Homo-oligomer: A and B are copies of this chain.
């Protein structure tokens, strides 16, 4: 409903509402990528297991991941903090340090922003402006029947980190190696991977896994008007996801399917292109399924059986 109201006012909006980021024609041969993300304390993070440094890093990472999902490169970001009076100046500086550490890795400037008062929850709102070459734009729509569905890296590690932190919050004696939480606390957006993929291959659709593999696959299928077949035993489970799931006595596959804030890329391309990409890439690409007709729906094939994949996020406990 909102989407139809926000019909684009001029032709400069190349990609509008309904994708990871907006793409805007800033000059005849240049396209800007614009994305924004708000994080609210208790909803998106808790300060009892997030340091301010990690929070700064993570807040920017979510935005850079959206830029990566469009095939873009970041240029500059603005950050607005809504602070209550429990936050100290040192903590704010720590937040900026974390954000800058990530920004510098990807040559993204912190170009401005604002600090306002927030009576209750801490609020972080970040906007990033990037750029994308017209031929590199990777939208959610564009997946074609027969394309392979691939992911970068390994899955389940972000969710396992969150689960371990939540478990320890309930039970202070619960112990685990700290590195298992890294992908939740300080994720790395896949900008280099996105650039490699969109520069060298015909990526028919792409999204970053922020809601969870199942949900984000739904976004691609919805925008591309297709279905999908995913093969459970092909989903690359991260070693930390397997280790952490054992500690938690849970199934790592559930983390991989439904865990959010993974920030890996989920994308589709033709089988021949996929073969070449896997051969040439210096990072891990795993085909996990194939694009089917929309009539077929979205299914997970597991041990010879198939079950409808639901676009839900991970449900705690």
Taking CB atoms, residues of chain B closer than 8 Å to A16 are: 109-112
A157: min CB distance to chain B, Å: 23
Given contacts A27-B26, A27-B29, A120-B120, whether A40 and B82 have CB atoms under 8 Å apart is yes
Which single residue of chain B is at the shortest CB-CB distance from A19? B112
**Chain A contact residues (Cβ within 8 angstroms of B): what range?**
35 or more
Segment of A89-97, A145-153, A173-181, A194-202 engaged in the interface with chain B: A89-97
A116: min CB distance to chain B, Å: 6
Task: Decide if A248 is an interface residue (CB 8 Å cutoff).
Answer: no
Interface centre among A29, A39, A121 (most CB of B within 10 A): A121
For the complex, give the distance between the alpha carbons of A19 and B96 in Å: 18
Segment of A72-80, A238-246, A304-312 engaged in the interface with chain B: A72-80
Contact flags (1/0) for A1-31 with B, using CB distance below 8 Å?
1100110111011001111011010110110
Q: Do B116 and A22 touch (CB < 8 A)?
A: no
Q: What copy number does this chain have within its complex?
A: 2
Given contacts A78-B36, A108-B9, whether A17 and B113 have CB atoms under 8 Å apart is yes
Task: Decide if A294 is an interface residue (CB 8 Å cutoff).
Answer: no
Specify which of B76, B116, B125 is in contact with A80 (CB 8 Å cutoff).
B125
Interface residues of A (CB under 8 A from B): 1-2, 5-6, 8-10, 12-13, 16-19, 21-22, 24, 26-27, 29-30, 32, 34-40, 42-44, 75-76, 78-80, 82, 92-93, 96-97, 100, 103-104, 107-114, 116-121, 123, 125, 127, 129, 131
| New A-B pairs, 13, CB < 8 Å, besides A37-B80, A40-B82, A119-B120 | A2-B93, A8-B111, A22-B111, A26-B32, A26-B129, A27-B30, A36-B36, A38-B80, A38-B114, A38-B123, A40-B119, A43-B117, A43-B118
